[in-house]
Structure 1
Amino acid sequence: MRRLFAVMGMEPVGYYDLSTAGVPVHATAFRPIREESLERNPFRVFTSLLRLELIDDLDLRRRAADILARRQIFTERCLALIDRAESAGGLSPVEADELVDEALHTFRWHGEATVDIETYQELRAAHPLIADVVCFKGPHVNHLTPRVLDIDSAQRAMHYRGIRAKDSIEGPPRRRCPILLRQTSFLALNEPIRFVGPGATDGRHTARFGEIEQRGCALTRKGRKLYDVLLSHARSQQSTGKAGHVVGESPFDDFPDDWATLRREGLAYFRYSASTAATDLGQAPLAASVESLIEGGWLDARPLTYEDFLPVSAAGIFRSNLGAMEETSYEAGGSQRVFEAALGRAVNDEIELYESAQAVSLAQALSDLGLRYR
């Protein structure tokens, strides 16, 4: 999977341990990391790896591993084209189109299970997502995620039109200055499937659902630490109230909600550029600080979009759509080292990517103003 996405210019970014929120997977997001690529196609694929060691029943764990070991999720031609791309440094346009066609077989939904109904029910009892991963021919796409500018309006509109949407929006509350990521979804379809075995039993399965997102500003390590502390306080309040209640806004009052404060306190990342008025203002002061250049009109600062995910939010979306509403944490924590061993490489640190993007933009902006980056 990593090699396929690499051919498409997408790299693994971030490590997400969803087991702490009751979902037995860890994950990364494959996406472009270069600025020009993100501007052209800000597309990302959240990709999870099942953690079989979290299945308590040892016999069921062994059977699940055997089922997964027997399947081949890529066509032979797809693998051959990946090999060619790696050895030749790319593909011809015809080969690239063929690779896409072949890769579609991997992600296509299959209505036929690879197990009998009894095995499916045992795996589903362990966790619905385990059954979703193990019992079918391949790693089907659970959902696509359109991006909206006002997710609260989208949520209200879904309820107004009778769409079975989540009760609440995942992520930070509504703010004047949006941060990180907010997500909601309309609930998974209950689709007909067919099991193997005597009689080829018919059944139903929920896996594919719709999701909507609104992206805000990327936070620095300092900003993310503050957000996580406030989120923990909000979740503590939620656990003492009605289950499924939207995260309250009160704990987040301590998170600044204006761009100038977020920038001055080093809580969020920005992209800098010389302002269009800089020429009319004349030479910028050589010893001026970044803040004074902004205040004087020489420098513009725009929030850097958060291109990644939030593990608690992702787990909440999974639970609400796969029928696992109880939020319990698995005792065994995640392991980035184990995940990267399976991946075959280290994941990119998303914070380092934002730090680099901000630094590069500031250096270029100061150079455009005839100043030296310090």
Structure 2
Amino acid sequence: MTEQRFVSPDLIRQRFSKAMSDMYREEVPLYGALMGLVEQTNRDVLAREPDIARQLDSTGEIQRLDMERHGAIRVGTAQELATLARLFAVMGMQPVGYYDLTPAGVPVHSTAFRAVHETALQVSPFRVFTSLLRLELIEDSELRAFAQSVLDQRSIFTPTALRLIAQAESAGGLDEVEAAEFVLQALETFRWHHSATVTAAQYQTLSAQHRLIADVVAFKGPHINHLTPRTLDIDIVQAQMPAHGITPKAVVEGPPRRQCPILLRQTSFKALDEPIAFTDQSDSRGSHSARFGEIEQRGAALTPKGRALYDRLLNAARDELGEFPNEANAARYNALMSRHFGEFPDSIEGMREQDLAYFRYVVTEKGHAAQGVAGASLQEHLREGHVKAEPLVYEDFLPVSAAGIFQSNLGDAAQTHYGEHSNRQAFEQALGRSTIDELGLYAETQQRSIDECLALLSHR
């Protein structure tokens, strides 16, 4: 078999993302309403803000906007995580970043599977925030052993999916027929199951320890728990959600509203209360809350210096608030965030000059027409208008934001204090490889764009 017959991993990822969205729309009707609201908001923003439309067009993001999604999934064992890594690799997705959510009272640590090169991201920016349950944080040894035994008995992948993963690894890819079957089989891992694998009493015991533990342990598979479209104006979506029968959470997670968005802002509607049948019941008399709807607005990827400033300003606002952001203090929290973040430059030039964000550099029409500019520096080209800078989109997640979204959907009663228990080494051992430093990826993308600009202009 020659490589020419293989379907590109980027196209497999694109098809899988579409199939996942279709499945989730059927399983969670409110997701369809959310999608409609996001699509209308994006159309309105593009019509009203020609500068935004021009920027998205020049960076190529306009083509990926409608298909942009991130999902989230939680697994229970090292073997499940390692096999998921192999499954995502078939779709050109690699583990980027390490996220420890225990300080937020969530007994998991995580990574984000996604494409890593800018050309692959343009084909499909689909990403999956993938968490591994940390059974060692369950203090009750009997409950810990029970949870382990339940997880050890399940297989979250179909035999055909496992066979096709191995086929892709041995042959170097999948052909058209195999790729189509792979998408269908891989989808089964993410499907919702109305039947639990434990009794009602066992479920309650797991849930009393932490509701997320019950969510991971008590079902046949890990089920996708949310799928997130990207909006160009999250504040409009937040304000419009009630009119569409969707109750939003009180506070948009992440940085405040800005002229030049940074990192990631998220909002959501509360987790659905869904009927399930336990093993000692003949019908769906129980219920479980896990799946919710989420919306995101993505901004510029920040450098280490920018991240440090972001963290300092966020912590200052939250420290002054003195409690977890909620409906009662939402207005004060938003005002505090806006005031503290006044220290963060809110222009492309301001962020670039202070080395706070990563950029993609492109040659302008003036640059293409310029003569005799070989040997000039990037700064000289920028000054002469031969090159322009566009912020790189942040492709990853915020640990605090992800945890905040999760806690807001489970309710304050779900919070547990695990303290500082970060264990990246154990996570990567379970994963079977090291996670990739996301900041290094942005730096590489930025440098590639600089090199391309200088090479092109050296021939003027």
TM-score normalised by the shorter chain: which range applies?
over 0.9
* Code of the aligned partner of 1:135: A
42-51 or 189-198, larger mean C-alpha shift: 189-198
Q: Partner of 2:252: helix, strand, or coil? A: coil
| 1:153 to 2:153 alignment | no
Q: 2:397 aligns with which of 296, 309, 328?
A: 309
Q: Partner of 2:365: helix, strand, or coil? A: coil
1:171–1:241 distance in 2 versus 1, CA, 3 Å: closer
Structure 2 equivalent of residue 16 of structure 1: 99
Structure 1 equivalent of residue 113 of structure 2: 30
1:370–1:199 distance in 2 versus 1, CA, 3 Å: closer
8 Å contact kept, 1:77–1:102: yes
1:84–1:285 distance in 2 versus 1, CA, 3 Å: closer
Structure 1 equivalent of residue 12 of structure 2: none
Structure 1 equivalent of residue 137 of structure 2: 54
Deviation of 1:309 (Å): 0.4
Deviation of 1:97 (Å): 1.0
Structure 2 equivalent of residue 170 of structure 1: 253
Deviation of 1:332 (Å): 4.2
1:332–1:242 distance in 2 versus 1, CA, 3 Å: closer
Q: Deviations over 1:142-180 (max 9, x none)?
A: 011010000000000003434111111010000011000
Structure 2 equivalent of residue 266 of structure 1: 355
Give the Cα–Cα distance (whole angstroms) in 1 for the partners of residues 409 and 304 of structure 2: 31
| 1:142 to 2:225 alignment | yes
Q: Which runs of 5+ in 1 are unaligned?
A: none
* Code of the aligned partner of 2:307: R
Q: TM-score, normalised by structure 1?
A: 0.95
1:231–1:328 distance in 2 versus 1, CA, 3 Å: farther
Q: 1:336 aligns with which of 414, 419, 424?
A: 424
Q: Deviations over 1:215-250 (max 9, x none)?
A: 000000111111111111111122258645345222
Give the Cα–Cα distance (whole angstroms) in 2 for the partners of residues 231 and 333 of structure 1: 22
Taking only the aligned residue pairs, the percentage that are identical comes to: 55
Q: TM-score, normalised by structure 2?
A: 0.77
8 Å contact kept, 2:210–2:414: no
Q: 1:203 aligns with which of 286, 300, 303?
A: 286
8 Å contact kept, 1:128–1:324: no
8 Å contact kept, 2:374–2:457: no
| 1:284 to 2:355 alignment | no
8 Å contact kept, 2:251–2:325: no
1:326–1:236 distance in 2 versus 1, CA, 3 Å: farther
Q: Which runs of 5+ in 2 are unaligned?
A: 1-83
Deviation of 1:137 (Å): 0.5
Deviation of 1:334 (Å): 1.4
Structure 1 equivalent of residue 3 of structure 2: none
Q: How does 1:23-172 map to 2 (within 5 A)?
A: 23-172=106-255
8 Å contact kept, 1:12–1:30: yes
* Code of the aligned partner of 1:265: Q
8 Å contact kept, 1:128–1:323: no
8 Å contact kept, 1:12–1:347: yes
| 1:220 to 2:303 alignment | yes
8 Å contact kept, 1:220–1:267: yes
Give the Cα–Cα distance (whole angstroms) in 2 for the partners of residues 95 and 115 of structure 1: 35
Give the Cα–Cα distance (whole angstroms) in 2 for the partners of residues 108 and 32 of structure 1: 23
8 Å contact kept, 1:24–1:51: yes
| 1:357 to 2:440 alignment | no
Give the Cα–Cα distance (whole angstroms) in 2 for the partners of residues 56 and 194 of structure 1: 28
For the aligned residue pairs, the C-alpha RMSD in angstroms reads 1.8
Residues matched between the structures, number: 371
